[in-house]
Structure 1
Amino acid sequence: MATRSTRQHIVVVGGGAMGSAAAWRLAVDGYRVTLLEQFEPGHVRGASHGSSRIFRHAYADRRYVELAARAAALWAELEEADGTRLLSWTGAVDHGDPAAVQGLAKVLGDAGLAYQILSPQAAAQHWPGLRFDTVVLHHAAAGRVDADRAVAVLQRRAAAAGAHVIHRSTARRLTVGRLGAEVVLDSATIKADQVVVAAGAWTSDLLGELIALPPLRTTREQPAHFPPIDPNLVWPSFIHHPGSDLRAEGIYGLGSADGIKIGEHGTGPVVHPDTRTFDPDPIVTDRLIGYAAEWLPGVNPTLPAPVTCLYTTTPDGNFIVDRVGPITVAAGFSGHGFKFTPAIGDLISGLVSGNIRTPDLFSLNRFSGDKPVPARSA
């Protein structure tokens, strides 16, 4: 632990998954940390709530495979420290577009991770709750994360390491000076040596005049939970890639305490987080009912329980984790970021310390050059 770090005060704005992970790693690394969250604990206004998120290593980009491996180790460290189970290792399957599926298999193999290629018939024997088309990729190093529990544990471990966690405290403005930064609240101003902004859909509102951000797109998404017919069935996390019989944007799904969750990726309307609605869109619900009826023989498709959440994404689908002076910004994680949460917190701590450089994949500078290439999500 660096002696110098104990003299620095770091304010983290945003108590969702990434901000909470940053507060945890920074506190463990010896910084004085204040974590500010504008809403109450366990709120549903952002992108970090709910009972389940997918954990998987299967990415077309090897850098994400390696980041998932780092995250898996840190999830295990977090579970051991708190005595709380966060990950369920159910495995994961990909099917649909054969080129996408085979491409993922190649990257997993190149990374030394075990996988299987199955026929639709063989896969259906393993997972009778699902119907498959074309080729099926199964990799065991996958499953799901309990999102609500993870955020609570991250904040609890941050506090145990000395962080000051404050809910119902909204950052209205940031100012940067020669000796650090200030966070202006409704009734106070907090001085900091550095500030980490992990404010999700509110990032552009807070940083728009300080940092040249790319356009961050916030949409209101609407997955749904369906009751399983047989509660004893094991459900892997699954991605149905667009192509073959599926004429859509693709579907993701996984088991959860609330039922079998499925959703479309990034198809919702653009919204502002302060004015978004929580009422389900019946058109989206009908699409998910139709998908469940055709592809999920293990659920009752007539009893959907739709929920809403926010997606905030960058133009290329890759994250922003970068430092500009005393400000470190972490944004654009929606759709596939939750699995990496503790690794992103660790990366943020490294950027704050100056001990590591921003990865090119997550740099703000990438938006000033060539046209970005979209990332494979979920």
Structure 2
Amino acid sequence: MSNSFDVIVIGAGIFGLATAAELAARRRRVAVIDRFGSGHPATSSTGRSRGIRIAYDHPFYVELALDAIHRWRALEKAGGRQILHLTGQVDFGLDTKLAAIASAVREAGGVIDELDAAGLRRKLPHLLTAPGDIGLFHAQAGTVLSDTGMAALKAKVLGDGVKLFEPERVIAIEPGNLTQVVTEKRRLEAGTVVVAAGPWTGALLATLDIHMPLAPSIAQVTFIAAQELVDRPGIGEWGGEGEGLGGVYGHPVPGIGYKLAFSTGQEGWVPDVDQWQPDYEEQARLFAWLDRRMPDFPRQVQLVQRHPWTMTPDGDFIVDRVGPVVLACGCSGHAFKFGPALGPLVADVVDGKPAHPLLRRDRPSLVGKKAAAGDAISR
């Protein structure tokens, strides 16, 4: 087997697989390396489901989500397995956030409806409301069956000739005329190396004297066994849990019922843990939220999972180039939904196009700033 490629992608999560798929479609010779193996429980791109929504406060993400839905549907058709379960989403919470979401969705050509208290109750009968409460609803939202989506992307890249090395840890990246990537088992080389290694990205980049304000975090999700909820819309609460834009999000999960989680993570991520045990104090806090907001919501827990995500100071991703190295990182808790639409963002930078201003590594909202593991998903 040749050890020389056009592009080496470090990380076989959603960013890495989507990038490999797009590069292969552009006739590049691609290798992907993953420390634990694609979809492993220690990684960010693990688990049964992720939410998907076009409800964003910036048109860039609305357009990206609309593109992602189209691309997920194409993967469904190619593989013959359901990936999307779209039941809509209700957003509630800070009035200013809701107004920004509605404006951005409409600017990007999406459809979103405003709800009064009665409308909120019609969409979410479990939700307690008061006179004057408002919210939003849009239909192009719901659930990505993430394990199925990852399997579909993996099958696509392997079918397109991408070489996948897993589980295999990268030891060093050595820039040169051709950049060398050294693993525990082999030495590979390529003109460009994409670092899409999730919470491990910061340490890898630091070996190249590239320092990004990334904060790995541990997030927890709770799956409620309630089949009667699988056709309910997802939820997004903005600003309901204290400072910033923290709150709760959730969506239906076919075959289980419903998934709920806080939009904030916790300190404590370390690189060599291969599975994270549930935090039952956080589960108790989630049930306390249900007591306040949806007191008659089912409480039978089927599964609690913890996994990492990686925050940036502004909640936006980083997709940019430093010499032969392309950064694809800082998912900030909201990247998975975009799935196959992430690939073209990275592949364009690999091809020499300038990074999108919102994703540049030197944007003002990153320079001189720090991220914290407990920052809320702000997008």
CA distance in structure 2 between the aligned counterparts of 1:272 and 1:345, rounded to whole angstroms: 27
Residue 18 to residue 254, structure 1, CA distance change in 2 (3 Å):
same
Partner of 1:318: 316
Structure 1 residues 278 and 253, CA, compared in 2 at 3 Å: closer, same or farther?
same
8 Å CA contact 1:218, 1:313 repeated in 2: yes
| C-alpha separation in 2, matches of 1:156 and 1:144 | 21
- Deviation readout 1:324-373 (Å, 9 max, x if unpaired): 1211110110311111221221111111122x210111111115758699
Which residues of 2 match residues 1-378 of structure 1 at below 5 A?
A: 9-132=6-129, 134-177=133-176, 179-228=177-226, 231=228, 234-243=231-240, 247=242, 249-256=246-253, 257-275=255-273, 278-297=276-295, 299-301=297-299, 303=301, 305-354=303-352, 356-366=353-363, 369=367, 377=378
**8 Å contact kept, 1:292–1:301:** no
Question: Partner of 2:269: helix, strand, or coil?
Answer: coil
**Alpha-carbon distance change, 237 to 122 in structure 1, aligned in 2, over 3 angstroms:** same
Go from structure 1 to structure 2 and tell me whether the alpha carbon gap of 1:303 and 1:187 turns closer, same or farther (over 3 Å shift): closer
Q: Deviation of residue 71 (structure 1)?
A: 2.0
When structure 1 is superposed on structure 2, of 75-84 and 87-96 the one drifting more is 75-84
Identity score, percent? 32
**Distance change in 2, residues 1:232/1:337 (3 Å):** closer
The amino acid that maps onto 2:24 is A
Q: CA deviation at 1:259?
A: 3.1
Residues 200-246 of structure 1, C-alpha deviation per residue, up to 9 Å, x if partnerless? 01111211121523221011111212222x62652212101124xx5
Give the 3 Å change call, closer, same or farther, for CA 298–90 of structure 1 in structure 2: farther
Three-state SS of the structure 1 residue aligned to 2:169 is coil
**Residue 28 of structure 1, CA deviation:** 1.1
Q: Aligned partners of 1:276 and 1:171: how far apart in 2?
A: 16
User: What is the TM-score normalised by the length of structure 1?
Assistant: 0.89
Contact 1:214 1:315 in 2 (8 A): no
| 1:243-271 superposed Cα distances (whole Å, 9 cap, x missing partner) | 4xx54721111111433111112231242
Change (3 A) 1:217 1:64: same
Which aligned runs of 4 or more in structure 1 are off by greater than 4 angstroms?
367-376
- TM-score (normalizing by structure 2): 0.89
Separation of aligned partners in 2, 1:372 and 1:42: 28
Q: Which one is further off, 305-314 or 127-136? A: 127-136
Question: What is the CA–CA distance in structure 1 between the aligned matches of 2:68 and 2:129, rounded to whole Å?
Answer: 29
CA 1:51/1:119 → structure 2, altered by over 3 Å: closer, same or farther?
Answer: same
Secondary structure, aligned partner of 1:289: helix
1:278-320 deviations in whole A, cap 9, x for unaligned? 2222221110111223333563225463210102111211101
Deviation at 1:132, TM superposition (A): 4.5
**Higher alpha-carbon deviation: 271-280 or 74-83:** 271-280
1-structure distance, mates of 2:32, 2:204 = 16
- Check whether the contact 2:228–2:257 (CA below 8 A) recurs between aligned residues: no
Report the AA paired with residue 311 of structure 2: T
Which residue is equivalent to 1:4? none
Q: What is the one-letter code of the residue matched to 2:137?
A: H
State the distance in 1 between where 2:87 and 2:346 align: 29
5+ unaligned residues in a row in structure 2: which ranges? none
Shift in alpha-carbon separation, 1:42–1:87, aligned structure 2, 3 A: same
User: Does the 8 Å CA contact 1:65/1:111 hold for their aligned counterparts?
Assistant: yes
- 2:42, 2:273 within 8 Å by CA — same for their partners in 1? no
Q: Is there any run of 5+ residues in structure 1 with no aligned partner, and where? A: 1-6
Q: CA 1:173 to 1:165, structure 2 compared with 1: closer, same or farther past 3 Å?
A: same
- The secondary structure found in structure 2 opposite 1:291 is helix
